[in-house]
């Protein structure tokens, strides 16, 4: 039987070398059209470790309490779960550069924006999409969040801008 591990290892090593390892993404300023919204039109990074976060959803809070049907509680719990995952990868919510939120009811968009604003108090929001879907994987789930984070990139608006001024 042929061993493919060395080929896999070589591919992984090449990928790791091609992704430069370098702290803070640069968030493009909001234009007049989206001023005050809870997302950035773009986030620029250079280097860093990229973390692709799987879609996260839940029907129980961190203490195991049933939160089926409670949109705000699910959203807050999902952000806490994303934070836990990012901590394991050496980062935090502030490292999220892109986010897709799936809501089962578009009328929850305002609540989602309120909670997301609390999660990013410095107003450096990820670039985002909010999509309304008819259902999620389990009855009672009202929101799912998938994200991409970049940990340790070298772009920072005040120290090392990557967006041309």
Tens of pLDDT along 32-89? Answer: 766 676 666 666 777 888 888 999 999 999 999 999 999 999 999 999 999 999 999 9
Which CATH number is 52's domain given?
3.30.1330.40
Judged against a pLDDT cut of 80, whether residue 144 lies above it is answered with yes
In a domain, 29, yes or no: yes
Query: How many domains does the structure of the chain reveal?
Result: 1
Q: Is position 35 within any domain?
A: yes
In a domain, 101, yes or no: yes
Contact 49, 151 (CB under 8 A): yes
Q: Which domain holds residue 37?
A: 23-151
* More confident call, 25 vs 100: 100
Rounded-to-integer distance, Cα 142 and Cα 71, Å: 6
Q: What global pTM score does this model have?
A: 0.75
In a domain, 9, yes or no: no
Any domain includes 107: yes
């Amino acid at each position: 039987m042929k061993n493919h591990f060395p080929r896999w290892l070589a591919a992984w090593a090449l990928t790791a070398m091609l992704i430069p390892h370098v702290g803070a993404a640069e968030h493009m300023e909001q234009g007049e059209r989206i001023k005050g919204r809870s997302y950035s039109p773009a986030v620029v990074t250079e280097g860093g470790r990229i973390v692709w976060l799987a879609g996260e959803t839940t029907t129980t809070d961190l203490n195991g309490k049933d939160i089926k049907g409670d949109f705000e509680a699910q959203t807050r719990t999902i952000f806490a779960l994303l934070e836990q995952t990012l901590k394991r990868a050496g980062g935090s919510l502030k490292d999220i550069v892109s986010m897709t939120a799936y809501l089962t009811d578009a009328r929850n968009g305002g609540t989602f924006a309120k909670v997301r604003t609390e999660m990013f108090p410095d107003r450096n929001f990820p670039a985002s999409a909010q999509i309304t879907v008819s259902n999620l994987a389990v009855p009672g789930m009202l929101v799912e969040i998938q994200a991409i984070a970049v940990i340790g990139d070298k772009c920072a608006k005040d120290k090392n801008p990557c967006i041309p001024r």
